[in-house]
Structure 1
């Protein structure tokens, strides 16, 4: 596929009141609407009107009194909110994050099949393993299992869910009223999975969904994460601070995917881009600096400690990031820890400067600029081998989404880099992905 025929994919990373950690304190943030469904409905409909590929919801399944006080906001369970949004949208994809560490394959397979039916084929699953002790402590554990163990379990978890999604063959439902046969039981298969982590009989108690299985997303860029995504993901969410890093990852991922026999064009690489937009570069920079003024650095240090798995809450703000263990020794979020360490070292940042850099996107690339300059950067990454599209992360959700939709997307469309109409109705249509085969289709009953 050449650059002249490619168009970029754009997801709205829908994150409460905005991606800047202090967004809730800004005068333009709608704090009274945080738990109001109407707010999320309006954002989703705005993104759909702009022909964006999907809504994406992250998830973390822990909090604390201190975190709530300082700004770690509450959030809906993703598949629940997406099911509600399915009823008020028609074409935009609906991607939800669900952890393999604290769920069972049968429940997850059923939830995403349900979402796929309710949305007429728009469901996507962002597969995570989680990475914090605070999350583990909500699920009968004292500590999070080690990194390699979590990915080993995730692989078996996904294999079970895929068996369950395939447990009904496409033509199993007969609905034969005359003979009283709803489904051909020779085409509905017990999976009899008996592995190291899961023992599941099956079948799923619902037919194969419109997309046959949801579109699979994965966000880990550690070695374990890269191995997992190259085997299974339809799209990979990434975080990079520079074009060079993004391009290196893109080339590596595509080569690895091709090397195991998959079509690299059918696995989309989607970096996160967090942004502030102004009519001029000066206005955009002023808005970015204004957000930093609302930051609570004691809370920011807690957030940083959680991300890197090392307590840095007592480190002086005007000092450097202390020496940390090698990222491969981190049992939490390895790839994000590596990114943060390299950012601090490359730019010789103090702790306070690092916290400000992370405040807008938690390690994702942040941009402040005019609509044209932001479109220029997206175009450069897209056309020069660093991305197939982007997860769009407004720092103040409603304000910056409105500006992106009203000003940046028309600029991208003018350059023929983004669609003006949907070419289909399912998330697989938006990503140009084929329907997956059924692994039980060739089974012959004796």
Structure 2
């Protein structure tokens, strides 16, 4: 199946190209990670390539142990960072991550609407429920997955109603009559739900013509249903093409079941790109990045994810579906656990084979290690198979891999007719809905 629709492409501002040992390279620029200039440069390069958006993921906790040998999760606040980027760009979308578990919906609505005003309609909200950080917000334990999504559903409804409650045309600014605004056009929402009670209205008007895009990353059954009901796009973990095809088909069916058009939801998996001038150099880049990730750490990651201890497992004995422990009722990351269990059921890998997979040593993202030509071929294959509507680039290994993505790969996709050659609109929403 060949699709005529053009891809939608975002760029991660999380410096994935500095993960593992890549930050130790002389050209990494790691000293600038807490400076806006580092990210403004990436955003400007992304805008020159005509990308839909730049995206800053986020966590609200710090794993201090990881800082021993990697940048870890330490980062600038995404919405504040994107506000700084807004003044240095003019067309590219700005996707901020805000947790519905920890931040009140009124604050979320105000922050994202403020970013939208500062950027002239280029803000987007990446809706996350969070996997950790509860102790920073007075909670002894994380709420269950079902409770987090129930809270998220309420939060999104409140945020949307707050945005709608203060329309920009309520402002009259009539100097002659002295009428600043029409109070009758500004509405309280009087929301009274299970988790929140919010009167409103928001104290920030909606000045944009287009709506603010909503992006979501849930891939568990509950997460998929939630995303299909509200999201304009889904940031998906899809380590292989079959997983991507299944996810996209399911999300489209779920969107229709919730009363939406299937074409209203776009599936954008993360694409981990280790790019170099030759395949050998790309593989070397990949191996160099992960050289300090030993077997013990990988086994620990598997055990933490699905409860399977492979420490003393014979190297020549495949891991099969029968070896999987019963799935616990509570799983920290249900998406990752599901993908790892699916891999074992489908492939019965040996431990060595398992430990090379992105489900174990990455974030379960689609992965291409090779040249720009290899990346074009892989992206075209997934696009033509109906597996994706686009992707979010998460380059790995080096700054040069990131530059190859933006300076060579994306322009070549445009030349091949798979991506836009110029912007046709000015808002984030217009980029994301462009055919």
- Fold-level match, TM-score > 0.5? yes
Indicate conservation of the 8 Å contact 1:101/1:129, yes or no: yes
Range moving further from structure 2, 76-85 or 314-323: 314-323
Residue ranges of structure 2 left out of the alignment (5+ in a row): none
**How far apart, in 1, do the equivalents of 2:180 and 2:308 lie?**
58
Alignment check: 8 A CA contact 2:239 2:366 kept: yes
1:353 and 1:26 mapped to 2: Cα distance? 28
Question: Displacement of 1:355 after TM fit?
Answer: 6.5
- Matches of 2:166 and 2:136 in 1, distance apart? 34
CA deviation after TM superposition for structure 1 residue 53, in Å: 0.8
Q: Secondary structure at the match of 1:293?
A: coil
- Alignment counterpart, residue 233 of structure 2, candidates 208, 232, 235: 235
What residue in structure 1 maps to residue 131 of structure 2? 131
Deviation, 1:82, is: 0.5
Shift of 1:59: 0.8
- 2: distance between equivalents of 1:73 and 1:157? 25
- Taking the aligned partners of 2:68 and 2:300, their CA distance within structure 1 comes to 12
Once the two structures are superposed, the pairs formed by residues 261-410 of structure 1 within 5 Å of their partners are 261-295=259-293, 308=305, 315=311, 323-326=324-327, 329-344=329-344, 346=347, 348-350=349-351, 353-354=354-355, 357-358=358-359, 361-396=362-397, 398-410=399-411
1:62 aligns with 2:58: no
Contact between 2:113 and 2:163, CA under 8 Å: does it hold in 1? yes
Gaps of 5+ in 1: 435-446
Match in the other structure for 1:225: 223
**Is 1:148 the equivalent of 2:149?**
no
Cα distance in 2, alignment partners of residues 289 and 236 from structure 1: 30
Structure 1 Cα separation of the partners of residues 183 and 116 of structure 2 = 23
Q: Report if the CA contact (8 A) 1:277-1:371 is conserved.
A: yes
| 1:20 Cα offset (Å) | 3.9
Shift of 1:193: 0.7
In 2, are the aligned partners of 1:22 and 1:359 still within 8 Å (CA)? no
Partner SS for 2:127: strand
Which residue matches 1:44?
43
Deviation of 1:226 after TM superposition, in Å, equals 0.9
Structure 1 CA distance, aligned partners of 2:69 and 2:300?
A: 10
Match of 1:74 in 2: 74
Q: How many equivalent residue pairs?
A: 428
Q: Is the 8 A contact 1:17 1:34 kept in 2?
A: no
Give, in whole Å, the separation in 2 of the partners of 1:302 and 1:211: 49
**Offset of residue 286 of structure 1:** 2.1
Matches of 2:136 and 2:190, distance apart in 1:
30
Following the alignment from structure 2 to structure 1, what is the Cα–Cα distance between the partners of residues 42 and 181? 40
Q: Could you say what secondary structure the match of 2:205 adopts?
A: coil
Q: Structure 1 pair 214/13, CA: closer, same or farther in 2 (3 Å)?
A: same
Asked whether the 8 Å contact 1:218–1:237 carries over to 2, the reply is: yes
**What are the residue-to-residue correspondences of 1:153-232 with 2, within 5 Å?**
153-211=151-209, 213-232=211-230
How far apart in 2 are the matches of 1:238 and 1:315? 30
Distance 2:84 2:389 in 1: 29
Q: How many angstroms apart in 2 are the aligned matches of 1:360 and 1:57?
A: 21
Partners of 2:247 and 2:77 in 1: CA distance? 31
Mapping for residues 410-421 of structure 1, pairs under 5 Å: 410-421=411-422
Q: Is the 8 A contact 1:276 1:369 kept in 2?
A: yes
Q: In terms of mean alpha carbon deviation, does 346-355 or 165-174 score higher?
A: 346-355
Gap change, CA 1:163 and 1:73, over 3 Å in 2: closer
Contact 1:243–1:381 (Cα < 8 Å) also in 2: yes
Distance 2:100 2:150 in 1: 10
